[in-house]
Structures are given as structure tokens and as C-alpha cells.
Structure 1
Amino acid sequence: MEKRGKILVAVLLITVMFLSVWGGFSFAQEGKKLVFGYIAYSRKDVWNNYSILAFEYAAKKKGIETIVLDPEGNLEKAVAAMEDLIAKKVDGISVFTITPELDVTLYEMAKKAGIPITFENSLPADTSLDYISCVACQYDDIGYAAGKFISEKYPGSKLFYVMGAPGMGITELYEQGLHKALEEYGTVELVGTQPTDWGAEKAMNVTQNAIQSGLQFDVIFANNEQMATGVINALKDAGLFGKVKIVATGGGPHGLEMIAKGEIDATMSAPVSLQGLLTFKNLYQYVVKGVKPEKFIPLPIIPITKENLAEAIPWEVTDETYERAVAYIGGLD
């Protein structure tokens, strides 16, 4: 009888160990003060910084301490940051991708230490790895959303595409999505495409060149809101501002301000605040509850115009915007 009791205790201990360490990663113990680590790309990067702020805000709401380390885009510093978080024995780690290949290295380090890890902004080079999830834009979907919006809103128009810098992979995806929508709807003619360096000055120059060449267009799709600023300047110089519709992407503070002022007509908003909140949610639910989300979660795309500006999810998470942003992603729990 005593022997059977010892066997039962041993089985129970093994079961508890299995439940608390599953797939090489530890789940949190009830009542334990949790600490989440975050390895940034660079806090100087506006997109990354807004995501970090949303992550930190949600963590604070849930009573979780955060340690944010900024390698400033340096691969060696990112590895050192992972070593630091492992030494501090954090309960979970989020990584904002610097390179997909580095993600694999950081994953292996976290796995060896038994710490759950999740990624944001780009998929790791090896998507077969057992990380929690990845939240990122699907740039072809954003391009498609822009093409769909323009096709439905401005049928019969001639479109000039002021695109980002080729060779990054991102720009090509935007272009593929845009072309797909234009072909499917067949209501808009794409009359020209000009690459830029993602900046306002280059966007202004290519728009000025298109105007001076005699190219006829009545809608411009600018690949981001900074570029839209350059497009606006070119149109103003040519006396065409207000006559040519402008559609951009982003949904950042400056973009929403331009919509409010009537300077651009629409933006395909992909709120980075939701990226930070979703990334936190994935890590939180896994560490606290052992719930694993979808392995890839695309950032929502919300077309914003002056008519639905009040529905925009700001990039900045504040006391006023937090509840609406969290509700949009179905809560944190």
C-alpha cells in the first residue's frame, strides 16, 4: 500500500512538471510576479517605439513588469540583450525583428533557457520553429486594400503610383497587392509607377517629374504618409492640389492630421499600437494560461477617410484610447 502511494505521488509530480514545462518552455506559477523582456529593433524607429509603448501600457495594466532593451539595430547587441534577459530569468520575451536570421538565433537561445518567445513585425527565417506567434503587416494586403479602395471610390480614374524603395521585399509586396486589386476590379487605369527612397523629397521630385512630362492622372497612391507630404507639395506647386486625390498608408499621427485637414483623402491604416497590444496578448496568454494563438497574426488594415476618422485606432495608446484598441483585438484575456 505504501509502495502504491509513493508511485501515485511520483506520477502526480511528473504530471505537474509536464504541465509547467511544455514544449521546452515554462508556464508561470500562480501568484508569481511576472517579468516580460522585450528586445527592440531601435527606439529611434518611430514604428518600433509606438509598438513598445503599447506593449508596456498593456503590461502595466496587467501588473507585469517589463524590461525593454534597445540594441539600436545592432545584431551583436541584440544577442547580448537576449543573454541579459536570460540571466535575469524573465518569464517571456518579445522580439522586434532586426533580421529574420537573427530571430532564429534568439529563438534558440530562449528555447535553451526554457523561456517562451514571440516575434513581431517580420517572420523568422525558419517558420517551423516552435515560437508562440508573430504579429506583422502583410504588405500585399495593404497594397490590395489601397487598390480596392481606389477602384471602388474612384472608378474611371487614372492612377499614378508613388512607391517606396525597390529591393526591400516590402515594396514588391505592396505592388503585387495593388496590381491584384486593380486587375480584379478593372475600374482604374494605372498610368505610371515611380520608385522613391520612402522620403518626402524624393516623392515630391518624382511627382513633379510626372506632372512636367505631361502624364495625366487624377489619383495618387503614396506608399506612406511621409511620401504623401512630398506629393502634396508637388501638387501645390503645379496648382493641382485638391484636383488630384491622394491615398496613402500608415494611419500615424501625421497621417490622421492630414486627413482631418483635408490634405489627403484616405490612408490604409495599420495601427502599430495594435501590433504591440497583440504581441503582448500572445505572450501573456501563453505564459499565464498556456494558450497558444495562431502562429501568424496579420495586423488589421483599416481604411480611414474624413468620414470615419473617429473610428481610427491611434498609434499612441493613452487612457482615452486603450479600451477601444483592446476591444478591437477582442480583449487581452
Structure 2
Amino acid sequence: MAHTNSNIAAETLILAGIRGPAIFRVPFVRRRIRVNLTYKIAALAGVAAVLSGPAYAADPIRIALFGFAADNAFTLASLEGLKEAAKEAGDVEIELFDGAFDADRQFNQIQDAVASGRFNGMLILPMGYSSAVPAAEEAIKAGIKFGSLEYPLGPDPTTTDKFQVMGMTTFVGYNVGSIGLRLAEATVEACQGRDPCKVALLVGSRSAAQDVPKIEAFNKHIAEHPSIKLVSTQDTLWGRELGLKVTQDVLQSNPDLDVITSFADQAAAGAEVALTGAGMNVGGEGIQLIGLGATQTAVAAIRQGRWYGTYVELPYMEGYLGGKNIIAAMRGQEFEPIIDLETRSPVGAAIATKTNLNAHPDWSSKWDG
């Protein structure tokens, strides 16, 4: 998962109404302090159901989305998916809370939202696996349907086949250990025919909760291949600028680098700038780049043969499926509580490569950063 910022402008929501379309403009605020964004979505079919029978409760479903940050591309893609689920269901309100990449702030936001009594559904993009658990338990105790996106809540981020917090409604996301393993497997493939094969690993942060299990899984698999030499591991904070800078530094001592594997497409994009700036070839017989996220930038680079691959993340689908599950739970409908999105890759594999992208020419990424 990449923590990056995107420019945000006023967004137009076109909502179907009985007398024709009504346009609501909801301004986004760039500042990170006290930003709550509310979207009330009433689809025509939903309005009809409210008027014609008891299928819907008298009060609408109100879902709080606790995001990484209000101006974060991953959060906004998840929000778009959640909005689509709400539009399909009808009579659903959504409110986005700006976590500002602060676990304590996110914890307090959940507690305050529970105390407000305004929400009957909550979804979180957790800043930490365990830090939000007590607040989530408060929400569940209050009768709120609670779900986690991207990462599971609980002490073990590699456990995704069962809930670690009693009473959770849904989890839609990934096993972080599997992410590290898949990236390592892709690195081994990219090293084929190169002995030795020198690899640099660009992580978000070696101390970040979401990166530690990835690093462990990556290093364990790479260690099984003696021809591969991991020459450097660098923090990039999942960003383009640091990705560029640390790659420049790595090249000073390792000009014969073979592969750069990154825990964020954004950092990989920065690495590519550093490589081309140093006059080095990227792709083909040159240095291989592997990212994480399947952003539009990464997918385009892979299709063009510049990058080797990227781990496929689907933030839009996280919000969409998580929202559908919360809504289904509140309406007494059947749903799949736990969804491991690695098994639902639109290109048929965890890592998008030129080969499997060519086999799925109509697929396109729904996010960038």
C-alpha cells in the first residue's frame, strides 16, 4: 500500500431523483485537521424500496470510513468504491474521516464516532493492526457493524482466514506476509539469467507495522536463492521523491544493480527517474523494476516493457466490497465476510506482468498516486 497525496478539487455527485438528476457538489478540504466529508447517496431504486415496503429501516444506513488521509490516493479510491456500493444499495450515507497518517488520531476518531451515535456501520483503513482494536471493540459492543480494509485487525497481520477481533463484520484486503512473498517470487523471476543478481529493496519504513511482515517474508524467500544478493534495503515512506533519492544513493555503491523491488509503485516511479537520469537502461536487458499497488502509472510502464511487474492491489474493490458487506449485514442479507483480494486479481495472478496484462487487454487500474 502506498501512502501518497493527490490534488483534490470539488467533486460532483450526480444522484438519481424521482424528478430527474440532482447535482450535489461536496467540497474536499486539503488540510489534514478535522476534515469530515459526507456523501448522502440515494439511488432511484433505493428510494422506491423505502416508499414501497419495510425492506429498509426508517433511518438510513450511515457508514463511517476511517481513511489513511483525506488527500491520500489509496483512501480516495476506496471511498469511490464505497460510494458505488452505497449508490447501488440506496438510502446510505457515507462520512470520510481524515486519519492524517496518525494511528492515535484514527483511534480517537473511532471513539468519538461511536460516542456520537450517528453511525451504524464503520470501515477502517488501519494505520496499525493492533492500535485500533480497542476502539473497534467499543464500536462492536455498541452494535455497530465494523469492517477492516487492506489489512486485518489484530495481533497477526498474516492471519486473514479468520477474524482476530470478536464480532467483526467483514475484512476485505490482503495478507501482508503473502505480499512480501509474491514480491520475492517476482524478484527471483526477474533475476533469471543473472548470476549474481544484485537487488535493492525499497520499503516504506522498516519500522512500519505493515512493512515488517513483508520484509521478513521477502528476505526469507530471497535467502533461498544464493545467486541473488540483496545489496541494500532503503526506506522511502512509500513516496516518489524519496524513491528517487535513495536509488541515487544506492547506485553510488552499486552501479551494477540488476533489480529494484519496491513496496510502493510511487517509490518505484521515483527509482525509474533516478535510473534514467544516471543514463541506465530500464527494462529488457537493463535494470528490472517491480512495484506494489498496480497504479495506472505502473500498469502503463509494464505494458510498455519498462517495468517487470507490480503486486496487484485494488483499493476501489476494497471499498466497494467492504461497503456491500456492511450494508448486507445491516439488511439481513447473505454476504462473504472475509475476502482475500489476492485470490481475485483481475489479471489472474498476484503480480501483474506484461504477459498477463496482455492476456487481459481490457483491464485498467482505477487508481494512481
TM-score by length of 2: 0.67
Q: Distance in 1 between matches of 2:303 and 2:253?
A: 31
1:298 to 330, 340, 363: 340
Q: Which amino acid aligns with 1:222?
A: S
* Contact 2:169 2:329 survives alignment (8 Å): yes
Question: What do the CA deviations read for 1:179-237 (whole angstroms, capped 9, x no partner)?
Answer: 333345x3850331221233333332332233222453322212211111221122112
Listed as ranges, the gaps of 5+ residues in structure 1 are 1-28, 318-333
* Contact 1:95 1:119 survives alignment (8 Å): yes
| Distance change (3 Å), C-alpha of 1:91 and 1:105 | closer
* Contact 2:190 2:308 survives alignment (8 Å): no
- Could you say which residue in structure 1 is the equivalent of 2:366? 315
1:251 CA drift (Å): 0.6
Q: Which amino acid aligns with 1:191?
A: L
| Distance change (3 Å), C-alpha of 1:285 and 1:77 | closer
* Contact 1:92 1:283 survives alignment (8 Å): yes
2:172 to 135, 151, 161: 135
1:248 CA drift (Å): 0.9
Question: What do the CA deviations read for 1:18-55 (whole angstroms, capped 9, x no partner)?
Answer: xxxxxxxxxxx634364131232232121111111101
Deviates more, 1:66-75 or 1:170-179: 66-75
- Could you say which residue in structure 2 is the equivalent of 1:79? 111
- Could you say which residue in structure 1 is the equivalent of 2:81? 54
| Distance change (3 Å), C-alpha of 1:214 and 1:252 | closer
1:95 CA drift (Å): 2.9
| SS of aligned partner of 2:151 | coil
1:91 CA drift (Å): 4.4
Q: Which amino acid aligns with 1:38?
A: A
Q: Distance in 2 between matches of 1:63 and 1:115?
A: 19
Q: Pairwise mapping of residues 25-36 of structure 1 onto structure 2 (< 5 A)?
A: 30-32=55-57, 34-36=60-62
Q: Which amino acid aligns with 2:63?
A: G
Deviates more, 1:130-139 or 1:300-309: 300-309
Q: Pairwise mapping of residues 203-222 of structure 1 onto structure 2 (< 5 A)?
A: 203-222=243-262
Identity of counterpart residues, as a percentage? 18
1:279 CA drift (Å): 1.0
The structure with the larger Rg is 1
2:291 to 248, 252, 275: 248
* Contact 2:179 2:214 survives alignment (8 Å): yes
* Contact 1:39 1:78 survives alignment (8 Å): no
Q: Which amino acid aligns with 1:69?
A: L
Question: What do the CA deviations read for 1:230-275 (whole angstroms, capped 9, x no partner)?
Answer: 2112211222123111111111122223334443221111111121
* Contact 2:147 2:169 survives alignment (8 Å): yes
Q: Distance in 1 between matches of 2:82 and 2:365?
A: 14
CA RMSD of aligned residues (A): 2.8
TM-score by length of 1: 0.74
Q: Pairwise mapping of residues 177-256 of structure 1 onto structure 2 (< 5 A)?
A: 177-183=217-223, 186=225, 189-198=228-237, 199-242=239-282, 243-256=286-299
* Contact 1:36 1:91 survives alignment (8 Å): yes
| SS of aligned partner of 1:101 | coil
* Contact 2:74 2:367 survives alignment (8 Å): no
Question: What do the CA deviations read for 1:45-96 (whole angstroms, capped 9, x no partner)?
Answer: 2111111110111221122412213244434344323333x23xx5433233
Q: Distance in 2 between matches of 1:274 and 1:95?
A: 14
1:109 to 133, 136, 139: 139
- Could you say which residue in structure 2 is the equivalent of 1:283? 326
Deviates more, 1:299-308 or 1:266-275: 299-308
Q: Distance in 1 between matches of 2:269 and 2:367?
A: 21
1:312 CA drift (Å): 4.4
* Contact 1:208 1:234 survives alignment (8 Å): yes
| Distance change (3 Å), C-alpha of 1:212 and 1:116 | closer
- Could you say which residue in structure 2 is the equivalent of 1:68? 95
The structure whose residues are more often helix, as a share, is 1
Q: Which amino acid aligns with 1:117?
A: F
Q: Which amino acid aligns with 2:112?
A: A
Q: Distance in 1 between matches of 2:139 and 2:120?
A: 14
